[in-house]
A and B are shown apart, each in its own frame.
Chain A
Amino acid sequence: MDKFDKDLKDLFQKQAIINEEQENWLDHKVNNLERKKQPQLFSLFKKHRLASVVITLLFVTVSIFAASNLQLFETSKVPISNDKAIARKFQNKQVQNINQTIENDEVKITINDILVDSKAIYFDAEVTLKSKKDNLIKYPYLNKISILNDDGSKIKTQNSSWRLDPETLNYVNNKSRELYKYTDISNKQTLKDIIKNNKSYKLKIEEVIINRQVKKDSEEYQKYQTLNINKTIDFKLDNKINSIESIKYHSDNKDIKVMYLDNTSLNIEFILNESKKSYDNYEVESTDFIDSLNIVTKDGTIIHTDGFEIKSNYQNNKYQDYIKVSFPITLQQSQDQYKFTYNLKSTNKFEAIITK
C-alpha cells in the first residue's frame, strides 16, 4: 500500500458522516420496521401444499367476512418507545418549557416545549383524541398552525411561505407526539431571526387531522377526518435560554454529546468511551472519572469546581451510551460567556466556551 492509498483511506474516514436530518429520517424508518413486518405464517406453510390450500381457503373466507366488517382486521398499534430518538432530536436546540393545553369536546392538545435551533423553531406537541367510540386505529396530528403577533396580526417575514414539517416522536392509538418544525423554504431566514426574546406571540392552531388507518384485504389505506380547532396559545422566548450552537468543541473531542444551559443549570451529556464497555448478559457498565470540572465566567470568576464519577446505567432494556450530568449554576446577566474545562481521566484536558 503506497502513500496515496493511505491518504485516500484517511480522507474517506474523515468524511461521509450523515447529517442530522438523514439520521432522523433513518431512525424513523427503522422504528417503523416493526410495524411493516409481515406475518411469517405464509412462509412457514409454503413448504406444505395441503396447509397452503387450507390457508388460502381461510384467507378467502376471512376476506369475504372482512368486506362486511372492516374492523375485523384492526390490530392494536404497538407504542413506539424511542426516548433516545427524542433526546437526539432535542439536542443542539434551545428548549423552553411551555406546557399549555387547549382542548374541545373531541381533542386535547398540549404544547410541551418550544425548541429553537439555528435553522428553525419547533413545537413539541401532543394531540390526544378524547372519544374512543370504536376500535379503529387513529393517529391525530396538527395541520394548520401559524405564529402571530400578540395582537393577532401576522408576523412579517421576508418570505411568505414557511414549511411545516412534523416529525413523529411517539404515537399510540388516539395519541401522537410530534415536533412541528417551522423552517423557511428558502433557508435564508429563520423564525429565530424574527421572534424576539421577551416579546409575546401567539401560536394559532386551526385544524387537527385524524388519520384513521384501516386494513382491508391485507391492504392498508387511510381515511382522513378534519377537526376544526381555531384556538391560540401565548408564548414568549425567555432570554435566559442560551444557544448550544455557540459551544466550541475541542477539535477531536468526542466525549460530549450535548451541552446546554437552561435557566438554572449547565447540563452536559457525556458520551461513554465505547472501548470501556463490557458486555455481560446484555448489561453494560462503563465508568470514567472526571478529575476536575471548572466553570468560570469570562472574567475569571469560578462558578463551579468539582470532580465526579460518571457511570453508565441500564434502562428500558438497553444500555445508555451517555450520561447526563447537571450542575446548578446561577447565570449572571452581566456575563455573556462561560468557559468550561474538565480533565477526563481517559483523555486529555478539554475546554469549551459556552456563550449566552
Chain B
Amino acid sequence: MIDLKQIEKAINNDHEAFASIIKIIQNELFSIAYLKLTNKSNVHDAIQETLINAYTNITKVKQTQYFKTWIIKILINECQKINQKDNRYINVDYEEYFINATSDNTYISNIFEILKEIDYKYQIAIYLYYAQEYQINEIAKILNENENTIKTRLKRGKEQLKNILEKKENQNG
C-alpha cells in the first residue's frame, strides 16, 4: 500500500519519497513488463523509461490516489512502444526476474508461466484484475479500452486459464 503522503512528497520533487514508492510497487512493475514483453533487455528498457518518465512528469499527477494507475499506464505504453519496434520473440525466463515461489498446488509451479500460455491480449487484464485487484472501469482506463471489452477479456482469459489448470491437474492425477 502506498502512503499518499509519500506520493505528495514525490510530487514535490522528493527523490527519497519517489524511491520509496517505487520500492513498494517494484513487483508490479516487473510483473507487467514481464507479461507484456518477450525480450529480456526490453523489460529493463521499459522499466527504465517508465522511471524516467514518471520522475520527470510526476508534477502532472493531480490526484495522489491515482499515482499507481498513472505509472502502470506509462509502463504499458512503454511496453507497447517497444513491441511495435521489436517483434523478436525470445523466451524470457521467469527466474531471471523473480524468486521462484513454491505453490501449495503441486500442479501449479508458477501462475505467471501459466498466464503466459493464454491469449496475449487477455494476460494483462487478468493480471490487473486478480493480482492488483483493479476494478473493471480502472482497467479500461489503463488499457484505453471500453469496459465491455475488458469484461470479455476477463471472461475469456479466465476460461483459458481454467482449461490449462484443469489439464495440469488431470496430468498430475
Q: Which of A245-267 contact B (CB under 8 A)?
A: none
Contact between chains at B22 and A19 (CB < 8 Å) = no
Q: Taking A23-B26, A317-B16 as contacts, is the C-beta distance between A18 and B98 under 8 angstroms? A: yes
For residue A17, CB closer than 8 A to chain B, the reply is: yes
Please tell me the number of chain A residues within 8 Å of chain B, measured between CB atoms: 29
For residue A221, CB closer than 8 A to chain B, the reply is: no
For residue A14, CB closer than 8 A to chain B, the reply is: yes
The answer for the CA separation of A352 and B19 in the assembled complex, in Å, is 32
Contact between chains at B55 and A37 (CB < 8 Å) = yes
Can you list, as one digit per residue, whether each of B93-113 has a CB less than 8 Å from chain A (1) or not (0)?
Answer: 001111101011100101110
Can you list, as one digit per residue, whether each of B3-30 has a CB less than 8 Å from chain A (1) or not (0)?
Answer: 1010000000001101110100011111
Please tell me the number of chain B residues within 8 Å of chain A, measured between CB atoms: 41
Contact between chains at B99 and A19 (CB < 8 Å) = yes
Contact between chains at A4 and B162 (CB < 8 Å) = yes
B112: which of A5, A16, A318 is its contact (CB, 8 Å)?
A16
A26: which of B26, B95, B101, B127 is its contact (CB, 8 Å)?
B26
Q: Which of A265-281 contact B (CB under 8 A)?
A: 279
In the complex, chain B residues whose CB is within 8 Å of the CB of A29: 47-48, 51
Q: Taking A11-B108, A26-B47 as contacts, is the C-beta distance between A16 and B55 under 8 angstroms? A: no
The answer for the CA separation of A34 and B134 in the assembled complex, in Å, is 31
Contact between chains at A15 and B98 (CB < 8 Å) = yes
Residues of B within 8 A of A (CB): 3, 5, 15-16, 18-20, 22, 26-31, 44, 47-48, 51-52, 55-56, 95-99, 101, 103-105, 108, 110-112, 127, 130-131, 133, 158, 161-162
Residues of A within 8 A of B (CB): 4-5, 8-9, 11-19, 22-23, 25-27, 29-31, 33-34, 36-38, 279, 317-318
Given contacts A18-B26, A37-B55, 16 further A-B contacts (CB under 8 A): A8-B130, A9-B130, A12-B111, A15-B101, A18-B97, A18-B98, A22-B96, A25-B44, A26-B22, A29-B48, A30-B22, A30-B51, A33-B55, A37-B56, A279-B3, A318-B20
